[in-house]
Amino acid sequence: MANYLASIFGTEQDKVNCSFYYKIGACRHGDRCSRKHVKPSYSQTILMPNLYQNPAYDPKNKMNPSQLQNHFDAFYEDLWCEMCKYGEIEEIVVCDNNNDHLIGNVYARFKYEDSAQAACDALNSRWYSARPIYCELSPVTDFREACCRLNSGEGCVRGGFCNFIHRKEPSAELERELELSTKKWLKERGRDERSVTRSPSPEPTRKRF
């Protein structure tokens, strides 16, 4: 019985634990959900809810698509460089959804669990863009399961109100720059290890936290 319960944990067959929270780290029902949201005591991934303020969802927005992309690239680079203070990053995911439980959510997956914990501890006393940061460990470790598969293909009919993550992508040029600068940063130190937090992070070209 114990093996069976372990095998269905966080799946649709699990009638006790919320599969959406387990897969995505957020659920549209929030605290009213009839199933349990089991918060992890350790994880490689942190979640910062509603951190990215997307101007595209501002009724007064007058930015064109190019300006919106530049705005996001500035945020993404800023975030990446800040996260490097706590450890080696494997992935950053920013939600482009417009529903209450996913809008502006930012996930950062680190190589090591202790890096994620250090980031979570530090960021809960930080502010960004004149707003306090809220940070928690997230159960999400595989974003292939968390992200909407239709969004990158023929298009998702639910748009920004989909309950799976619609991932907002930085420009290809910025991704290349960050990948190269991070590789150089690690190579200069001749390591890929846990003491990254004691070294300066890659230099950004835009604003900092």
Bridging pattern class, strands 127-128 and 131-132: antiparallel
DSSP characters over the chain: -HHHHHHHTTSTT-SSB-HHHHHHS--TTGGG-SSB----SS-SEEEETT----GGG-TT----HHHHHHHHHHHHHHHHHHHTTTS-EEEEEEB---STTTTT-EEEEESSHHHHHHHHHHHTT-EETTEE---EEES---HHHHB-TTTTTT--TTGGG-SSB-BPPPPHHHHHHHHHHHHHHHHHTT--SGGGGGSPPPPPSS---
Structural domains of the chain, with CATH: 1-37 (no CATH), 39-198 (3.30.70.330)
Which band of pLDDT confidence, cut at 50, 70 and 90, is reported for residue 10? Answer: very low
Which band of pLDDT confidence, cut at 50, 70 and 90, is reported for residue 15? Answer: low
The predicted-structure confidence for 142-200, as pLDDT tens digits, reads as follows 998 899 988 765 678 888 899 999 999 999 999 999 989 888 877 776 655 555 444 45
Instruction: Check pLDDT > 50 for residue 84.
Output: yes
> Among the listed ranges 96-105, 124-133, 147-156, 170-179, which one has the minimum average pLDDT value?
147-156
> Among the listed ranges 13-22, 52-61, 70-79, 187-196, which one has the minimum average pLDDT value?
187-196
Q: What amino acid occupies position 166?
A: H
Q: Output the six-digit token pair for 2.
A: 């114990």
Q: What is the mean pLDDT of residues 80-109?
A: 95
CB 96 within 8 A of CB 160: yes
What is the rounded CA–CA span in Å between residue 149 and residue 129? 31
Q: Which residues lie closer than 8 Å to 172 by C-beta, 6 or more apart?
A: none
> CB count, 10 Å around CB of 2?
6
Instruction: Check pLDDT > 90 for residue 112.
Output: yes
In the chain, the N- to C-terminal Cα span, in Å, equals 48
Sheet with 136-138: strands ordered across: 89-94, 106-110, 45-48, 136-138
pLDDT, residue 39, reads 92
